[in-house]
Copies of this chain bind each other. A is one copy, B any other.
Amino acid sequence: MREVAIIGIGQTPVDEHWGKSLKELAGEAILAALADAKGESVEALFIGNMLSGILAKQENLGALISDWIGLPGIEAEKVEAACGSGAAAFRSALMAVGSGEIASALVVGVEKMTESLPIETTEALATAADADYESAQGLSFVAINALVMQRYMHTFGWQHKDFAPFSINAHANAMHNPFARLHDEITQEDYLEARMIADPINLLDASPIGDGAAAVLLVPANSIQANGRRRIKVIGSASETDTVAVHSRKDPLWLSAAERSAHKAYQHAGVSPEDIDFFELHDAFSIMSVLSLEACGFADRGQGPRLGLDGEISIQGRIPITTRGGLKARGHPVGATGVYQIVEAVQQLRGEADQTQVNDPHIGMTQNIGGSGATIITHILKAG
């Protein structure tokens, strides 16, 4: 596969966008990415989206959005892998451009979640779980993660307060990201006193839903003209799966798909965890941050919370995470999230992350998860 690079990025704020439809949000992010790419042409459009058919009664987004953005007729399709849809669409585009079949591909992740009744959105999100064996029993998505967190605390002897640094770090970083959904600095006390959602997950353990879109343009790496900015190449990419139902796994406290996905991406890129300068991980719930760090080789099994308590996840730490706010504070418009992560990684590698800029990063990693650890897609990007 020929080497592929990211030439343009764009995003909308994550928010309750009452005045904008799904295609308008997608268009806004795409036009920003095209402006950033400075006039590249586009041959194909890959859309990451999970809920549009259920919540907006609209499928066929490929043709709809390509027409809306003024590129009528181009090849276009939607890719769905639950909350991992954004990275799945990115990986499909990567292979399309990498194969030589497509000269340039736009990827847009887009989701509109706040217009529906909250119960409808919760039910729609539950389609990421196993309909026969999880959702049918009344388990919502937060409830599944609560069971995992409860078990983790029991097995490894951690207390709820030990997870506080993940949320505090995400909120602190989001303060400097104008596209983030939440701009509220939170304290340890706020975290401890937050309203309970599904014990032990409280409001500050959970990422907020939102409306938003993020877009990138992919081209062959050798086609990029030097334009004064760092060239961002995709040097690692892998997607792996696990059972959808958490109870079917031998070990519900180990993200096997994350381990395999990260390992393949490391191999692909010829790097190891020590080479990763920052990690945009999938912190849908604080327990997922912990499990991701362990599975990807940044902490020993059962020791993930230690990274938070020791300050290793901050911008100045050993492995900065959620540097632009993460799912927790930038927000989690599900099918868009994987593309937001890529956009934010490019910002870091270009040195455009302002007050949350990691010091001179060369290699960044993103990881997007569909379901409770069922579909896990890792990308490694490199500047220069």
Q: Kindly state whether residue A315 has any CB partner on chain B within 8 Å.
A: no
Task: Name A126-158 residues within 8 Å CB distance of B.
Answer: 126-132, 135
Task: Name A50-78 residues within 8 Å CB distance of B.
Answer: 50-51, 53-54, 56-64, 66-67, 72-78
Interface core residue of A66, A77, A124 (most chain B CB under 10 Å): A77
CB-CB under 8 A for A82 and B60, given A73-B257, A96-B95, A101-B1? yes
Inter-chain CA distance A63–B255, complex, in Å, is 14
Inter-chain CA distance A10–B64, complex, in Å, is 32
CB-CB under 8 A for A73 and B242, given A78-B79, A80-B59, A95-B96? yes
Q: Kindly state whether residue A92 has any CB partner on chain B within 8 Å.
A: yes
Inter-chain CA distance A102–B257, complex, in Å, is 17
In contact, A240 and B79 (Cβ under 8 angstroms): no
Q: Kindly state whether residue A304 has any CB partner on chain B within 8 Å.
A: no
Determine the chain B residues whose CB is within 8 A of the CB of A128 once the complex forms: 59-60
Determine the chain B residues whose CB is within 8 A of the CB of A54 once the complex forms: 53-54
Determine the chain B residues whose CB is within 8 A of the CB of A102 once the complex forms: 95
In contact, B374 and A248 (Cβ under 8 angstroms): no
4 shortest A-B CB distances, which residue pairs? Answer: A99-B99, A63-B374, A60-B82, A63-B241
In contact, B135 and A371 (Cβ under 8 angstroms): no
Task: Name A81-98 residues within 8 Å CB distance of B.
Answer: 81-82, 88, 91-92, 95-96, 98
Nearest CB on B from A122, distance (A):
12
In contact, A81 and B77 (Cβ under 8 angstroms): yes
Inter-chain CA distance A237–B370, complex, in Å, is 29
In contact, A73 and B1 (Cβ under 8 angstroms): no
In contact, A243 and B1 (Cβ under 8 angstroms): no
Inter-chain CA distance A241–B64, complex, in Å, is 9
In contact, B60 and A127 (Cβ under 8 angstroms): yes
CB-CB under 8 A for A66 and B241, given A80-B80, A92-B77, A98-B99? yes
Inter-chain CA distance A126–B59, complex, in Å, is 9
Q: Kindly state whether residue A21 has any CB partner on chain B within 8 Å.
A: yes
Q: Kindly state whether residue A366 has any CB partner on chain B within 8 Å.
A: no
Q: Kindly state whether residue A123 has any CB partner on chain B within 8 Å.
A: yes
Q: Kindly state whether residue A244 has any CB partner on chain B within 8 Å.
A: yes
Determine the chain B residues whose CB is within 8 A of the CB of A131 once the complex forms: 56-58
Q: Kindly state whether residue A341 has any CB partner on chain B within 8 Å.
A: no
Determine the chain B residues whose CB is within 8 A of the CB of A57 once the complex forms: 123, 126-127, 131, 135
Count of chain A residues with Cβ under 8 Å from any Cβ of B? 65
CB closest chain-B residue, reference A98: B99
Nearest CB on B from A183, distance (A):
31
Determine the chain B residues whose CB is within 8 A of the CB of A324 once the complex forms: none
Inter-chain CA distance A75–B376, complex, in Å, is 9
Task: Name A250-271 residues within 8 Å CB distance of B.
Answer: 256-257, 260
Determine the chain B residues whose CB is within 8 A of the CB of A240 once the complex forms: 73-75
Candidates B53, B67, B95, B260; contact of A101 at CB < 8 Å: B95
Inter-chain CA distance A80–B54, complex, in Å, is 13
Determine the chain B residues whose CB is within 8 A of the CB of A367 once the complex forms: none
In contact, A99 and B63 (Cβ under 8 angstroms): no
Inter-chain CA distance A98–B101, complex, in Å, is 9
Q: Kindly state whether residue A356 has any CB partner on chain B within 8 Å.
A: no
Candidates B21, B101, B126, B260; contact of A73 at CB < 8 Å: B260
In contact, A241 and B59 (Cβ under 8 angstroms): no
CB closest chain-B residue, reference A50: B59
| 24 A–B contacts, CB within 8 A, in A order | A1-B100, A53-B124, A56-B131, A57-B127, A60-B80, A60-B82, A60-B128, A60-B244, A60-B371, A60-B374, A62-B370, A63-B244, A64-B130, A67-B243, A67-B244, A72-B241, A72-B243, A73-B241, A74-B240, A76-B375, A77-B81, A95-B95, A95-B96, A95-B102
